[in-house]
Structure 1
Amino acid sequence: MEKMKLQKLYSDFKPDIDIIENELEKALQSTSHLLNDASLHLLHAGGKRIRPLFVLMSAKFGNYSIDRMKYAAVPLELIHMGSLVHDDVIDHSNMRRGRPTVRSQWNNRVAMLTGSFIFGRAIQYVTHIENPKAHQILARTMVEICKGEIIQIEDKFRINQNLKDYFRRIKRKTALLIESSCEVGAVVAEADPEVTKRLKRFGYYVGMSYQIVDDVLDFTSTDKQLGKPAGSDLLQGNITLPILLMKNHPKILRFIERASKGIVTEQERLEMLQIVRKSDSIKQALKISDQYLEKAMKEVERLPDNPTKKRLKEIALFIGKRKF
């Protein structure tokens, strides 16, 4: 059902998304068989292609041309993919989207070099864009994502962090890339500067909501739905919003302590999931997500009349209410 909803949202853009998919395949080709296999391994694992979609939607408020927009959409998806490969190394993750990660299939060294290769390809694609503003946005995005990865390492298993720490981290981890997707799409399509600002803010709010929902789903979904063990975030030391909202729970504190030593049993993981699912923290986290979503909707309302306005609302609602 959820996948059908997503396909419907993509329907207006499917021919252009297909073009971007082909460009991604071309971008990841390499004379090195190892790099080639490792890069395409992640691409073929699938993905929602949310970021390219936001690029295309935002471009509809300017002079839309897929021949130009693909050079904005492809690098943003590549930056996202490269950061996932690096994230899996940082988190020691073995599964992503139900498939072995690059680090698991090969090793950490191959994964780090693959992530760097994908970043390099992103930079190559950006050179096709003439507007220096787009280059500045993408360069800043890559720098901030790398800062975010460092912050994530520093915050691992740190129970004394606060909500401000969490929001700062997810801004760099997720919201910034969606914000940049909307902004770059508008900039490359030469949209009105005021419209570009609204789209940028819309992307930020949607991105924050997206990550909060993602963090909730890590506890509420099944292992099969996630393609990895439920509760993986906490097992890897990532203290997300549902846990921050109940971080003084004695059993959760005990679980974090044991997880930091790598001695959590399967029974303990299942018990932890039950504690979180039965707590009020899930409802509270989703309420905060909804607040970001409401702000995103207000930005859409202020955009000029355009058939894409309806699609922006629908994709934002899907992101905020999705079940996978």
Structure 2
Amino acid sequence: MEKMKLKLLYSDLKSDIEVIEKELETALNSSSHFLNDASLHLLKAGGKRIRPVFVLLSAKFGHYDIEQMKKVAVSLELIHMASLVHDDVIDDSEMRRGRPTVKSQWNNRVAMYTGDFIFARALQYITDIDNPKAHEILSKTMVEICVGEVIQIEDKMQLDQNIRDYFRRIKRKTALLIASSCHLGAVVAGTDDQIASRLKRYGYYVGMSFQIIDDILDLTSTDKQLGKPAGSDLLQGNITLPVLLVRDDPAIRPLIEKALEGTITEDERQELLGKIRGSEAIKKAKKISDTYLQKALREVDALPQNSIKKSLRDIALYMGKRKF
């Protein structure tokens, strides 16, 4: 239902999104049956295709050419997909979007090579864009994503980390790729630098808001809605904003520590979720997410008059206010 609501917000792009979807299938085709099956397994799990949408919307402020834009959009979506495959290996995740992960369906080695293959395909697609700045943006983004993966490993289980560490982590995990989607769409479409920079900032703020909401929903949604146990981030050792905001509560911290140690029982998991849901942490985290959202909306307001501004505003509001 939520995915359908999102798709209605960019229904004008339906035919172009279908072009990108077909191109993604082509991009994931290889001579290896293993790679084919593993890559398509991930693609068929679906996704909101948020990054391609931001590429296309941002390109509407310049010279819009779907043949050019699809190369950018496919490249960015492939980077996102590759990072998910690698994330699932790092987090030892069995499920994603209600389906077995690549590492679960096959094994860690197949998953790592599948992720590498998808990353390589992303680079292959962007080489068709004759714009050195686009290559520079994408390469820097990929470096930062990789650095972010290592930082996430370093921060695992670290309950006493600084909240700034969390923001630094989600910047690289989510916000940078959304910012780069907006930036690349604008740059390849030939918009002026000021508009491109504003769209980049918009994407960054939306990405930060989106990830904070994602981390909240991991604790407030049901197991069925998530397709995995609620609180999975914490069970995997990933400390998110709501947890950081309640970690000093003497009634909650012992349960958090048990979750990190892997000794928490099912009853205790439910108790922990209930206590976090009933705390002020959820409201505080939502308020921080909303601060980023409002910054994103101010960037939209400052853009030149264009019918696309409404779509950018509506999608930002959806991503920052979604219930699941």
Same-fold call, TM > 0.5?
yes
| Aligned-partner Cα distance in 2 for 1:103–1:66 | 34
**Distance in 2 separating the partners of 1:164 and 1:103:** 31
Partners of 2:253 and 2:103 in 1: how far apart? Answer: 29
Distance 2:260 2:310 in 1: 45
Q: 2: distance between equivalents of 1:134 and 1:20?
A: 19
Q: Which residue of 2 aligns with 1:46?
A: 46
Which residue does the alignment assign to 2:314?
A: 314
List per-residue Cα deviations over 1:141-167 (Å, max 9, x = no partner): 111011111111111110111111010
Match of 2:180 in 1: 180
**TM-score of the aligned structures, taking structure 2 as reference length:** 0.98
Deviations 1:216-260 (A, max 9, x none): 000111111111111000111111000111111234322333233
Equivalent residue number for residue 155 of structure 1:
155
Q: Deviations over 1:182-221 (max 9, x none)?
A: 0000000001110001000000000000000000000111
Once the two structures are TM-superposed, the CA of residue 7 in structure 1 deviates from its matched residue by: 2.1
Q: Spell out the pairing of 1:297-312 with structure 2 (5 A cutoff).
A: 297-312=297-312
Q: CA–CA distance in 2 between the matches of 1:3 and 1:205? A: 21
Superposed, 1:140-289 pairs within 5 Å as 140-289=140-289
Looking at structure 2, the residues matched to 133 and 60 of structure 1 have their Cα atoms a distance apart, in angstroms, of 19
Q: Tell me, which stretches of 5 or more residues in structure 2 are unaligned? A: none
Q: Residue type of the partner of 2:281?
A: S
Amino acid at match of 1:56: L
Would you say the 8 A contact 2:58–2:185 is kept in 1? yes
1:172, 1:318 → 2: CA distance? 22
Q: Which residue of 2 aligns with 1:126?
A: 126
* Preserved CA contact (<8 Å) 1:89 1:108: yes
Shift in Å at residue 264 of structure 1?
1.9
Partner in structure 1 of residue 13 of structure 2: 13
Shift of residue 269 of structure 1?
A: 1.1
TM-score norm. by structure 1 comes to 0.98
C-alpha distance after superposition, 1:56-106 (max 9, x if no partner):
000000000100000100010000000000001111100000000001101
Q: Percent identity?
A: 70
Q: Distance in 2 between matches of 1:17 and 1:4?
A: 14
Query: 2: CA distance between counterparts of 1:2 and 1:291?
Result: 23
Q: How far off its partner does 1:10 sit?
A: 2.2
Q: How does 1:10-159 map to 2 (within 5 A)?
A: 10-159=10-159
Q: 2:252, 2:33 → 1: CA distance?
A: 45
**Which 4+ runs in 1 deviate beyond 3 A?**
none
Matches of 1:145 and 1:250 in 2, distance apart? Answer: 35
Indicate if the aligned counterparts of 2:3 and 2:48 stay in contact, CA closer than 8 A: no
Partner residue in 2 for 1:293: 293
Alignment-mate amino acid for residue 149 of structure 2: E
Contact 1:59/1:186 (8 A) holds in 2: yes
Equivalent position SS for 1:186 = helix
- 1:103-151 CA-to-partner distances (Å, cap 9, x unmatched) read 1101111111111110000000011100011111111111101111111
